[in-house]
Amino acid sequence: MTKILRGRVLSFLRQPQVADDHDSYSFIEDGAILISGGTIKAVGAFADMPLGVEVIDHRPNLLMAGFIDTHNHFPQMQVIGSYGAQLLDWLNNYTFPAETKFADPVHAERMAGKYFDEMLRNGTTTPVAYCSVHKTSAEAYFTEAARRNIRALGGKVLMDRNAPEGVLDTPQSAYDDTKALIEKWHGKGRALYAISPRFAITSTRAQMEMAQALVAENPTCYMQTHLSENHDEIAYTMELYPEHPDYLGIYEHYDLLGSRALLGHCIHLNDRERSVMADTDCVAVFCPTSNLFIGSGLFNEERTRTDGIRIAVATDIGGGTSYSMLKTMDEAYKVCQLQNQNLPPLYAFYLMTLGNAKALGLEAKIGTLEAGSEADVVVLDAAATPAMALRMETVTTLAEELFVLQTLGDDRSVVETYVAGVASKP
């Protein structure tokens, strides 16, 4: 099916270097995206599009590449908004019990449906998820993504200690289940697999060796884990692994680092860890709503960027409090403000799209509206609520409009979400 989406078309070309870096993006006021077979065939002025093709007119709304959420937890939808605990208590009191339920395939399937509904409602067309320890949860996740033709990344967590029995595997079962899931899903349709040792606290050395083997044997898979989120977590980690110089040193020892390594949080890094992250080309995943909600700390965006470490952004549902990447960047802005740093709106929207695509090495497929890309598109209305409409009366520039979207917007600003060219907002 061939179609044309008409609207105000915005797509990033590269990372903005300054707040008003107008060369970093392409913007067409009366623009159009020509889509066929799930792929973008052409982008340009509406006047230059072929005649006789169905036109869906989204004017005056913005058309952008669908958002990418590089770190969230599919089994934590019923954990969001759990009161009064910092990381380790939050995991033990709320999160591990909720994840235990994902041994049941019926529960996992129901949650997978809800999960992708929320992603699409919020304009996120590519999530990167941690599933629970159970193979069933990863099956439910990838099956639902395939049913909706969503480009989804994820994997079952590896965890064999320091958690309740119901969410533990063993080194061998973690290896066997991950291997089977990779064979079944990695590269099938739009699915990609992320080998997911949860964090050092919940893996024995024997399991870390299994993770090492999985990463070595599957070089096109991703590796995701958590790093340096909370002070008590770091102290406990170093009690468990005293032979390593620091937290990152553990993952380094087991050869888990590299350009496909996604390290969630990275808040309290030491200088050595920063330099190893930059040298090994790892990605630091900034999860602002989670970092504020669980009281973990303030991610130092400016320092991380100037240290030459790659940065991605994410919701971290259910430590995070919103499925919306707009709300996520609203909170990211405030985290930067608290450190006297700037997060310009062009950069924020770059991060949600092309920036996150580059963090995944998928910028040829997603994250932009270039011809040849997969037709994942979000349609955004910066005047979606009465308060936004009132504020928009005084807005004169694109950057200001983006900032209104980021500061006041959420799923109500998402008019439509196209997945491989198909309108899919629930």
CA distances from 65 to 29, 109, 125, 376 (A): 16, 28, 9, 6
Cis ω before 60 (30° cut-off from 0): yes
Distance separating alpha carbons of residues 250 and 59, to the nearest angstrom:
51
Q: What's the min distance (Å) between Cβ of 287 and ligand GUN?
A: 7
Among the candidate windows 53-61, 96-104, 312-320, 377-385, which touches Zn ion by CB under 5 A? 312-320
Q: What's the min distance (Å) between Cβ of 88 and ligand GUN?
A: 9
Nearest to 107 by CA among 73, 80, 78: 78
Nearest to 186 by CA among 210, 154, 159, 157: 154
Among 16, 264, 320, 355, binds Zn ion (CB under 5 A): 264
Side chain identity, residue 320: G
Q: What's the min distance (Å) between Cβ of 388 and Zn ion?
A: 30
Q: What are phi and psi of 46, to 5 degrees?
A: -60, -35
> What does the H/E/C string look like for 28-47?
EEEEEEEEECCEEEEEEEHH
DSSP string, 79-133: TTT--S--HHHHIIIIIHHHHHGGGSHHHHHHHHHHHHHHHHHTTEEEEEEEE-S
Nearest to 259 by CA among 307, 309, 306, 320: 309
Interaction of residue 316 with Zn ion, rule CB under 5 A: yes
Which CB, 319 or 344, lies closer to ligand GUN? 319
**Which partner in Zn ion, ligand GUN, none is near 344 (CB below 5 to 8 A by kind)?**
none
**Which partner in Zn ion, ligand GUN, none is near 198 (CB below 5 to 8 A by kind)?**
ligand GUN
Distance separating alpha carbons of residues 315 and 409, to the nearest angstrom:
15
Six-digit token pair at 165? 């029995």
Q: What's the min distance (Å) between Cβ of 264 and Zn ion?
A: 5
Which CB, 320 or 421, lies closer to Zn ion? 320
**Which partner in Zn ion, ligand GUN, none is near 229 (CB below 5 to 8 A by kind)?**
ligand GUN
Which CB, 196 or 356, lies closer to ligand GUN? 196
Handedness of CA 217, 218, 220, 223 (dihedral sign): negative
Among the candidate windows 141-149, 260-268, 358-366, 386-394, which touches Zn ion by CB under 5 A? 260-268
Interaction of residue 69 with Zn ion, rule CB under 5 A: no
**Which partner in Zn ion, ligand GUN, none is near 365 (CB below 5 to 8 A by kind)?**
none
Q: What's the min distance (Å) between Cβ of 290 and ligand GUN?
A: 5
Burial of 183 (0-12, 13-18, 19+ CB in 10 A): exposed
**Which partner in Zn ion, ligand GUN, none is near 199 (CB below 5 to 8 A by kind)?**
ligand GUN
Interface with Zn ion in residues 110-129 (CB under 5 A): none
Among the candidate windows 85-93, 242-250, 256-264, 323-331, which touches Zn ion by CB under 5 A? 256-264
Interaction of residue 318 with Zn ion, rule CB under 5 A: no
Q: What are phi and psi of 27, to 5 degrees?
A: -135, 125
Six-digit token pair at 395? 């807005």
Which CB, 79 or 366, lies closer to ligand GUN? 79
Distance separating alpha carbons of residues 44 and 41, to the nearest angstrom:
10
Which CB, 201 or 383, lies closer to ligand GUN? 201
**Which partner in Zn ion, ligand GUN, none is near 304 (CB below 5 to 8 A by kind)?**
none
Which CB, 125 or 296, lies closer to ligand GUN? 296
Q: What's the min distance (Å) between Cβ of 183 and ligand GUN?
A: 26
Which CB, 229 or 410, lies closer to ligand GUN? 229
Residues in the chain: 426
Q: What's the min distance (Å) between Cβ of 87 and ligand GUN?
A: 6
**Which partner in Zn ion, ligand GUN, none is near 95 (CB below 5 to 8 A by kind)?**
ligand GUN
Which CB, 139 or 229, lies closer to Zn ion? 229
Number of chain residues interacting with Zn ion (CB under 5 A):
2
Nearest 5°: CA angle at 312, between 306 and 315? 135
Interaction of residue 252 with Zn ion, rule CB under 5 A: no
Q: Which residues bind ligand GUN (CB under 6 A)?
A: 73, 87, 91, 95, 198-199, 226, 229, 290, 316, 319
Which CB, 151 or 198, lies closer to ligand GUN? 198
Which CB, 33 or 294, lies closer to Zn ion? 294
b/e code 189-217 from CB counts within 10 Å (16+ = b): ebbbbbbbbbbbbbbbeebbebbbbbbee
Distance separating alpha carbons of residues 407 and 409, to the nearest angstrom:
6
State the residues that interact with Zn ion by CB under 5 A.
Answer: 264, 316
